[in-house]
Copies of this chain bind each other. A is one copy, B any other.
């Protein structure tokens, strides 16, 4: 089905459920640029992600879930800075103009946009490859989210100090387990409700936006868990010039994960699986109680998993005793291989 690119934008993207007006955006889709007006005294936080068919999602995935997830994982980066979402831009390279697919994809985006008051304000639409050629490239998405945060209040990776407590929100490894189910048909004997919970963790991660904003002024450093705790906590340690001790028995594991996965495979998923989009943050001990109170008020589960120490890298422990553990996050250029 051939369709004009402006027509596709009008029908599927520049519609009121997705590209709704907000005061911070005086000019949106339809000009050379969108115009953004952050609140006085605020900085703009921006983050960009590219998602490629066959790398970040499967070719036959549900477009509604893809739309949801595309925006949620980007909002998670705003959450990790303590920023309030303002709006997002989207570039799409489409293998073909497929109206039902586009309608579902845009509905998934619109649901998350509405939940987070974060409208689509611009972007680009292009074909994946010349339609005159036989070959058609993969679907490729690029999203940039824009948020605002009072000047100086953003949560950075570099603020962790020796003695700080290390916390994570929610539970770890569920999304990675969900991806195993989706891709490999893993654990076919798992009860349907638990299976659905793991799949949902992959398709529609939380994006802890309100939690990130609540951590402003309390947390000393924060990151969102996209590549797995081992890799992402490593970024905080490196940026802050410190080390960490983490107690494996304190890692928050869900009922569904424990039902599905044998004990020996759980650390691999919880630490190296990625895609959880929970927050990992550090907090000075004297602020811990305030953090717990604020997060309880939001209904965000929070677990204390370790502490920041002098040095570098993570010392993994079990019942207080150091234990050898090799974990790594996903790397795009290492030739593949599952985390161990």
Contacts and interface: CB of A to CB of B under 8 A. Distances in A.
Interface of A: 2-5, 8, 26-27, 30-38, 40, 43-56, 77-78, 80-81, 83, 89-94, 97, 121-133, 135, 137-138, 140, 142, 144, 146-147, 149, 151, 154, 156-158, 222-224, 239, 331-336
Contact of A30 (B133, B140, B157): B157
A138 to B, nearest CB: 5
Given A50-B126, A93-B52, A137-B54, A333 B2 contact: yes
Contact of A131 (B52, B78, B127, B336): B336
Contacts of A154: 27, 33, 35
Given A81-B33, A137-B138, A335-B2, A126 B223 contact: no
Copies per complex?
2
B137 A52 contact: yes
Contact of A32 (B3, B97, B224): B224
22 contacts: A3-B333, A5-B332, A5-B333, A8-B333, A30-B157, A31-B239, A33-B83, A35-B45, A36-B43, A48-B123, A48-B144, A49-B124, A50-B126, A52-B93, A54-B129, A54-B137, A55-B128, A55-B130, A124-B142, A131-B335, A140-B140, A144-B144
Nearest to A40: B40
A292 B53 CA distance: 49
A275 B27 CA distance: 25
